[in-house]
Structure 1
Amino acid sequence: MEESGEEAGGAACRVFTFKDEKSPEESLSVCIPEVLDPQYGMYVWPCAVVLAQYLWFHRDQLRGRAVLEVRRSGTQKETFWLLSFRPVSDPVLTPCRSSCAQLGAGVGLPGVLAARCGAHVLLSDASDRPRCLENGRRSCAANGLRDVGVLGLSWGDVTPELLLLPPQDVVLGSDVFYDPEDFEDVLVTFVCLLRKNPEAQFWTTYQVRSSDWSLEALLRRWRLRCVSVPLADFGADGCELAGSALPGSHTVHMMIISRGSEVDPPAQGSPSAPRHAACCSAAQ
């Protein structure tokens, strides 16, 4: 990973270079402005590089597709990407792209990489995090991305923005399972999206922080299934990816979550069942 000597607004650019092992001449460099501020998601975390590597490995699926990158309000490291495998000429997607151009979400390494691979990207961040939005705009500008929009969403809550989203095929999340208190909000938002497309998948990378944490009960409650993806399958099993020192010694896993046999409202014993059940009902 290279560091640019130029700084803009206190942000130093770091360059991540993704290469194809089978075709060494094929590579892609992404410049990400970073600000070392503990209060904001202003720099790249280990899980983001692993997820970006997965996107790079499957870049042929991104060309000509529409990608929505969504950052969840709350912990600064929780970021979502909604990736819709639909032709860019789809009239349903055109208004979203044209109405919110030039805004970004966090540092957005996976989203920026997807855009550089030919996807049509829509970034999103919480509206009360202007510094993250600004750094997202810096990321877009640093990579020559002029046609990128933004959408604000609060995960776990029903909002017009969530309900107006077109059907999504893949949901991407980097380090979204950071705080156990947020785990169900993360999953219930995916369940809401499943109501529009039952075949959607959730591709997510997460860092192991405690052996006591588990998604098993929540996955069962929301009728979801989970499959682990070995990092070696997409060239992410090393300590240094894209010319960077990330993920380093951190233990990162990737998994794909999808609908189980059926998607039902949660058990009535859950203290958060009323709000979450309403979310799924409204999304139908």
Structure 2
Amino acid sequence: MYVWPCAVVLAQYLWAHRRSLRGKRVLEIGAGVSLPGVVAAKCGAEVTLSDSEELPPCLQRCRSSCRANRLPHVPVIGLTWGRVSPQLLALAPVDIILGSDVFFDPKDFEDILTTVYFLLEKNPHAQFWTTYQVRSADWSIEALLCKWKLKTIHMPLHSFSADKEHLASSSLPGRHTIEMMIISLAQ
């Protein structure tokens, strides 16, 4: 099973901040293999994993990751970005929303931020911790962040990794620039 560099970077950030995760309520969106969510759960957070309700294999992958990591108590739910569903409405309060490489396809950017905004409005103290791979200079969420009145803090990767040389390294060909942001409601 391949784990994308963005998931590794977000997991490294969580590990670097592991002492602050105990008891936090965490939701991972677009979880896939769920590495960040699994790390958060292992650090004592109350985690819920989610992926598209329209992609049962993705939800099964989340469940498989939980079983493989001895986390049978971690709930896995179907959430589709941009859709206000009963599962989204029924979510318990959250402190941290995680998303690794969810900004993969520009056609999804608005739906992702719609869902994140909904969650932040419902949980005004919460933050969205996200990592993404820079794929094109034309792919930007800056205008959408302004539209939704969200503020962003860019997190330099070197600030939380002891192994700076291998942080976000990838065996895939080409250049792989990874960025991390913390997004919250603008006050």
Same-fold status (TM-score > 0.5): yes
- Counterparts of 1:152 and 1:163, CA distance in 2: 12
Query: Which position in structure 2 is the counterpart of 1:47?
Result: 6
Query: Which position in structure 2 is the counterpart of 1:59?
Result: 18
> Match for 2:123 among 197, 222, 225?
197
* Other structure's SS at 2:128 match: strand
Q: What do residues 124-157 of structure 1 show as CA deviations (whole Å, max 9, x unaligned)?
A: 2233433333332322222222212111111101
TM-score by length of 2: 0.87
Query: Which position in structure 1 is the counterpart of 2:108?
Result: 182
- Counterparts of 2:58 and 2:86, CA distance in 1: 22
CA contact (8 A) 1:70 1:151 kept: no
- In angstroms, what is the RMSD of aligned CA positions? 2.2
Query: Which position in structure 2 is the counterpart of 1:238?
Result: 164
- Counterparts of 2:157 and 2:110, CA distance in 1: 25
Query: Which position in structure 1 is the counterpart of 2:49?
Result: 123
Query: Which position in structure 2 is the counterpart of 1:168?
Result: 94
Greater helix share, 1 or 2?
2
Q: 1:155 to 1:237 in 2, by over 3 A?
A: farther
Query: Which position in structure 2 is the counterpart of 1:223?
Result: 149
- Counterparts of 2:176 and 2:154, CA distance in 1: 17
Q: 1:247 to 1:208 in 2, by over 3 A?
A: farther
1:110 aligned to 2:69?
Answer: no
- Counterparts of 1:189 and 1:226, CA distance in 2: 16
* Other structure's SS at 2:109 match: helix
Query: Which position in structure 1 is the counterpart of 2:28?
Result: 69
- Counterparts of 1:198 and 1:61, CA distance in 2: 19
- Counterparts of 2:135 and 2:16, CA distance in 1: 26
Q: 1:164 to 1:185 in 2, by over 3 A?
A: same
Greater strand share, 1 or 2?
1
- Counterparts of 1:54 and 1:63, CA distance in 2: 15
Please, which runs of 5 or more residues in structure 1 have no aligned partner? 1-33, 35-42, 72-78, 80-105, 262-284
Q: What do residues 92-130 of structure 1 show as CA deviations (whole Å, max 9, x unaligned)?
A: xxxxxxxxxxxxxx2111111111122232222233433
* Other structure's SS at 1:166 match: coil
- Counterparts of 2:92 and 2:38, CA distance in 1: 21
Indicate the percent of aligned positions where both proteins have the same amino acid. Answer: 60
TM-score by length of 1: 0.60
- Counterparts of 2:169 and 2:158, CA distance in 1: 17
CA contact (8 A) 1:50 1:247 kept: no
Please, which runs of 5 or more residues in structure 2 have no aligned partner? none
**What is the aligned residue count?**
185
Q: Which has the larger radius of gyration?
A: 1
Q: 1:187 to 1:250 in 2, by over 3 A?
A: same
> Structure 1 stretch 225-234 or stretch 193-202: which is displaced more?
193-202
Query: Which position in structure 1 is the counterpart of 2:62?
Result: 136
